Structure 1
Amino acid sequence: MARAETIALLTRYYAAFNAGDWQGMLDCLADDVAHDVNQGERVIGKDKFAAFLGHMERCYKEELKDIVLMATDDGSRAAAEFVVHGAYLATDEGLPEADGQTYVLPAGAFIAVDGGKITRLTMYYNLADWTAQVVG
């Protein structure tokens, strides 16, 4: 997969995220996708990623802005940098109480692609920055 095809795949993936189109996001993933959750463990499988999306939808409302996509020439590796504009809707286990707090948080992802599908998503954001914003 060449760089342009990987960028097109990621463009679809992040457009689906911003549209709240979870099925559109899942369509971009390999069945055995590895998801490295920020501050968490690696989770394997599209079904577990779908459960993660359901959890995120319950606790957060987010939109990604200023998205920058990068990919290797062969398209096998990529990265995305963006700014998350969000609202904390429901208390997430182990985190501060939610009360609709808003936040603006730089974030990124390292991505592996094979066969036209995302095979790994490694997420990063600064949890201390997010916590400071929602605790206020």
Structure 2
Amino acid sequence: MSDNSQSAAALVQRYYDAFNAGDVPGMLACLSEDVAHDVNQGGRRTGKALFGEFCAHMERCYREQLTDIVVMPSADGRRAAAEFTVNGTYLSDDDGLPPATGQTYCLPAGTFFDIADGKITRVTTHYNLQDWIAQVTGTGA
């Protein structure tokens, strides 16, 4: 693995370590000022401030831990992908989604990253929303 590739993998791992520790400032420290954040089945938010607002919303509505994280950097270190399992609890109603009653869920997810100058410049996360809805409503997948 090249030095650039190793650096990219380490940066993404620091981001996820901060996520699992509930350390939003630690996550933000991994991001560029103008980070592009593509929300699953949603729009793009640009900038650390909006990313921080998203994190605050997520902390209010969900408690999540990521396990089985596998980070896959490109050889040049300019991009990376990560696959993981989201283990969560739905804490508080989120707009447009079913009511929260403390339901738990477990689903596979992945994120794509762009990296420049030692910072993450894009975060694009994907998971199966219909699977999540089926789990929190008890309707099966």
Which runs of 5 or more structure 2 residues have no equivalent in the other structure?
Answer: none
| Corresponding residue of 1:95 | 97
Which runs of 5 or more structure 1 residues have no equivalent in the other structure?
Answer: none
1:2-21 pair list within 5 angstroms: 2-21=4-23
Provide the secondary structure at the position in 1 that maps to 2:97.
Answer: coil
The residue identity in structure 1 corresponding to 2:55 is: L
**Aligned mate of 1:112, from 111, 114, 130:** 114
Deviation at 1:88, TM superposition (A): 0.1
Provide the secondary structure at the position in 2 that maps to 1:2.
Answer: helix
Between the aligned partners of 1:113 and 1:94, the Cα distance in structure 2 is: 32
> Number of residues paired by the alignment?
136
Deviation at 1:83, TM superposition (A): 0.1
The residue identity in structure 1 corresponding to 2:15 is: Y
**RMSD, matched Cα:** 0.7
Deviation at 1:18, TM superposition (A): 0.2
- TM-score, scaled relative to structure 2: 0.95
Identity of aligned residues (%): 61
- TM-score, scaled relative to structure 1: 0.99
- Structure 1 position 44 matched with structure 2 position 36: no
| Corresponding residue of 1:69 | 71
Runs of at least 4 residues off by over 4 Å: none
